[in-house]
Structure 1
Amino acid sequence: MQSAYRVAAVQAEPVWLDAEATVEKTIGLIEEAAAQDVALLAFPETWIPGYPVFLWLDSVFGQMPHIARYHANSLSVDSAHLTAIRHAARRAGVTVALGYSEKDHGSLYISQTLIGADGGVLLHRRKLKPTHVERSLFGESDGSHLKVVDTPLGRVGALNCWEHLQPLNKYALYAQHEQVHIASWPTFGLAKGIAYALSAEANMAATQTYALEGGCYVLAPTQVISERGIELFATTDQQRALLTAGAGNSRIFGPDGSPLGKSLDEHAEGLVVADIDLSLIDLAKNAADPAGHYAKTDATRLLHDNRPKPAVVRPGELTGPLFPDLDEFDTDSAAV
């Protein structure tokens, strides 16, 4: 296992509701990360095809002009789009934590896939409970999606957005001895100055707390929204008042909660980069290991049911591969 290496959190604007163009941008960011010797690159929540800010701007019926397009530009796990990103990760030799809207037939899920430097899939998970109005578009998952996996870069786990406000979700990952955590967020340009709970300040505080509580490194990528993006979603003055350009706030935190790397202006696109050393986790956990010596099992314990709960169970299906073998595809494929 590699102990010391470079990581990066993306801060960028997707090409809203356009999977093909955002995949091209994704591949460009992977190549940019490789040029900076980044070993692990993290993308925001629903980076492809962009966070559905329209859910917060109108009634369910008012959202309908965007729904079909959002479905059409969401990625299935065996899609050519996702395969192109896996090839890009392998060419660059970069491990990629990708956030996207996953299309599974008629349903969508807020998903994260950890792609290894060889293009293989190390982890695939879905957000357990979509937040508030997100439930009108996305489905839920189960306890099998609270998972930390062994990788060449250490034990890696991931959560999306307000899953970081669910204490039991967090503890389920802490208890799996997570070393590097991907905390994927959308843009904080929604209801800026109106709803503090949706602000960068509040949610980065939760992210920093995750690093301190879990004694792990945390990569927190975020999206940027430009005036062009606002024009796409906001058609009335009331809707425009709910969206503010910029609001990127990508961060990296160390296992003692300290900020790492140089942050970007909220309007800027790029990478927040930091060098990390997993051996420092031992120092942090020497003081407080929440699921180890600092636990109090006679007082409180977590029941984590990690069994998959599919709607239909057929013999043999649960053991079959979810993602196709990358070698089945043209190894020189770079785009779709």
Structure 2
Amino acid sequence: MEHQLRIAVVQAAPVLFDKESALEKVADYAAQARNEGARLLVFPEVFVSGYPRGLTFGARVGSRTVEGREDFARYWRSAIVIPGEDTSRLGEIARETGLYLVIGVVERDGEFSGATLYNSIIYIGPDGELLGKHRKLVPTGSERLLWGQGDGSTLTVIDTPFGRIGGLICWENYMPLARMALYAKGVDIWIAPTADSRDTWQATLQHIACEGRCYVISSNQFVTKSTYPSDLQGYGDIAGDEQILCRGGSAVVGPLGEYIVKPLFNEEGLLVADLDMALVAQSRFDFDVAGHYSRPDVFELTVHETKQTIVNFKG
């Protein structure tokens, strides 16, 4: 395994519901990361095409509005199919820059109804190949109106020359059993894209680093009202909010819980860090959560990794 790795983390936001804006920003930041000598580049939760913070989509208990449905349709149009034309374009960016790309996306179901959206992470290799994806298991709060639930078939961990990469999205990271499932797959670099900019999120990152004895990379959007199209039907939902809607907090934490890059707040930016992958094994000397510190004689976790479907067609 290669021991030295330079990574980069994006803290930015596209124009909400504007896929072209998001893809252009991916290309721009990939070029910057390449120039910085990075080999792995991480983007925030649902970077393509934005986290609709503050929008209600006209939903109340027992009713939805026509205007809210129109905003949802706009969100749906800005989503991507995996694999598809947009992942091929992202693959071209990865190939041109030689980067591993980890990108939060809004995924549109391309297999069944075509209407359900998912909050997903995609992993793309430096050869442009789509290596895998993860769908958020439980959308949080009002997110459940927008996104469906993922299943165990996308608890994805990717092998690379510098270690195994995997992770969970935002508040999935508070699910102990989901974390354990990934620890058991030997994650060395934990990806935690998020929309949580609170101080308590930083404690979560440090806890996972200490618990998993892995590097933790968290990427959040820096969002201002200027990134929201003024012609959104629901723009009035945020009209009275502060100009900064999400302050960020992207950070990189080492396998003993120390900051490699401290959280960035209140500005857009690209974080760059050098990771010594040898520290992962060193940190597990006295605590290996899925190894010598586990007790399979006392605890057992069963993970269902079969893809779940309501209809099975048999010839």
Query: Is the TM-score greater than 0.5?
Result: yes
- In 1, Cα distance between equivalents of 2:22 and 2:228: 17
Q: Which one is further off, 247-256 or 123-132?
A: 123-132
Aligned residue pair count:
304
Distance 1:54 1:263, change over 3 A: closer
Which residue of the partner structure matches residue 166 of structure 2?
157
Q: Identify the match of residue 118 of structure 1 among 112, 115, 127.
A: 127
Q: CA deviation at 1:282?
A: 1.2
SS of structure 2 residue aligned to 1:144: helix
Q: Aligned pair 1:176/2:185, yes or no? A: yes
Which residue of the partner structure matches residue 71 of structure 1?
76
- Alignment TM-score, normalising by the size of structure 2: 0.89
Q: CA deviation at 1:47?
A: 0.5
Q: Identify the match of residue 99 of structure 2 among 94, 99, 103.
A: 94
Q: CA deviation at 1:146?
A: 1.6
CA displacement, residues 213-239 of structure 1 (integer Å, 9 cap, x when unaligned)? 001111101001113136747744876
SS of structure 2 residue aligned to 1:101: strand
* Alignment RMSD: 2.2
Q: CA deviation at 1:29?
A: 0.6
Q: CA deviation at 1:88?
A: 0.6
Distance 1:289 1:78, change over 3 A: closer
Which residue of the partner structure matches residue 217 of structure 2?
219
CA contact (8 A) 1:123 1:149 kept: yes
Which residue of the partner structure matches residue 251 of structure 1?
251
Identify unmatched segments of 5+ residues in structure 1: 189-198, 317-336
- In 1, Cα distance between equivalents of 2:32 and 2:242: 33
Which residue of the partner structure matches residue 280 of structure 2?
281
- Alignment TM-score, normalising by the size of structure 1: 0.84
CA contact (8 A) 1:208 1:253 kept: yes
Q: Identify the match of residue 85 of structure 1 among 85, 90, 95.
A: 90
Which residue of the partner structure matches residue 20 of structure 2?
20
Identity across matched positions, percent: 35
Identify unmatched segments of 5+ residues in structure 2: none
CA displacement, residues 260-281 of structure 1 (integer Å, 9 cap, x when unaligned)? 12543x2321211110021111
Which residue of the partner structure matches residue 4 of structure 2?
4
- In 2, Cα distance between equivalents of 1:86 and 1:236: 37
CA displacement, residues 84-107 of structure 1 (integer Å, 9 cap, x when unaligned)? 111011010000001100011111
Which residue of the partner structure matches residue 148 of structure 1?
157
Q: Aligned pair 1:296/2:284, yes or no? A: no
Which residue of the partner structure matches residue 199 of structure 2?
201
Higher strand share: 2
CA contact (8 A) 1:49 1:74 kept: yes
Counterpart AA for 1:221: S
